[in-house]
Chain A
Amino acid sequence: DTAVSQTPKYLVTQMGNDKSIKCEQNLGHDTMYWYKQDSKKFLKIMFSYNNKELIINETVPNRFSPKSPDKAHLNLHINSLELGDSAVYFCASSQAQDPYNEQFFGPGTRLTVL
């Protein structure tokens, strides 16, 4: 199926650990995003890449490092995990970064930091 996929779906880890979340889209889109949805369901953008180039970085702690090996993949690495990092992380993609393109979301990764 054509879609935005993320792995893993669930991630439970201890404080201080380092973890990665992977995202892939096979929609042929140029732009990919990472969003964080906290416990109050507020969905906020973290990063955006356009053709492997970082274009949006929303004052996210530098413990979070996105990497885009190619335009179909956008991974998120998190160092020294903290309790406040517990959230659902959504990857999304769109045809381009202009204001009229729909963003398609992946299924989300629920991260729990103990």
Chain B
Amino acid sequence: QKEVEQDPGPLSVPEGAIVSLNCTYSDRGSQSFFWYRQYSGKSPELIMFIYSNGDKEDGRFTAQLNKASQYVSLLIRDSQPSDSATYLCAPRGGTSYGKLTFGQGTILTVHP
């Protein structure tokens, strides 16, 4: 089993749609979870992080964490063409204290 699993997509949605990006992880000791966005040809940039069970909202983005199910998701509301990118989930902590372990990423395209 991979440490972090994401559906690679690609996922294509119309502008304005609600998008849910999902991630499962294997290390039960993971303490925090980061969502990074990577535009084509660019470096990853942090969108959100979450470390408590439940939801965390920031504008159009909501991160959801369920540690019992080892599942974290990112919900994007009112998606925009500028949201088109690869979204990377990265648990941190647990047995790999200092490092981020990235999933394969989900490629998202939002078409006008």
The answer to whether A43 and B44 have CB atoms under 8 Å apart is: yes
24 residue pairs of the A-B complex, CB under 8 angstroms, read A33-B99, A41-B86, A43-B105, A48-B99, A58-B99, A90-B43, A90-B44, A97-B98, A98-B97, A99-B32, A99-B51, A99-B94, A99-B97, A99-B98, A100-B31, A100-B32, A102-B34, A103-B34, A104-B46, A105-B43, A105-B44, A106-B43, A107-B42, A107-B43
Chain A residues, Cβ within 8 Å of B30: 99
Give bound CA distance, A37 to B94, whole Å.
23
B45 CB within 8 Å of chain A: yes
Q: Per-position contact with B for A8-45: 1 when CB-CB < 8 Å, else 0?
A: 00000000000000000000000101000000111111
Per DSSP, are chain B's interface residues mostly helix, strand or loop, or mixed? strand
Query: A99-B32, A102-B46, A107-B42 are known contacts. Are A43 and B99 too (CB-CB below 8 A)?
Result: no
The answer to whether B100 and A103 have CB atoms under 8 Å apart is: yes
Q: Which residues of A contact B (CB under 8 A)?
A: 31, 33, 40-45, 48, 50, 55-56, 58, 90, 97-100, 102-108
User: Which of B42, B45, B98 is the one whose CB lies under 8 Å from A56?
Assistant: B98
Give bound CA distance, A97 to B41, whole Å.
27
Band of interface residues on B: 20 to 34
Chain B residues, Cβ within 8 Å of A106: 43
How many whole Å from B18's CB to the nearest CB in chain A?
A: 25
Q: Per-position contact with A for B59-73: 1 when CB-CB < 8 Å, else 0?
A: 000000000000000
Tell me the nearest residue of chain A to B30, going by C-beta.
A99
The answer to whether B32 and A42 have CB atoms under 8 Å apart is: no
Tell me the nearest residue of chain B to A102, going by C-beta.
B46
Chain A residues, Cβ within 8 Å of B97: 97-99
The answer to whether B92 and A99 have CB atoms under 8 Å apart is: yes
B45, B97, B99, B102: residue with the most chain A Cβ atoms closer than 10 Å: B99
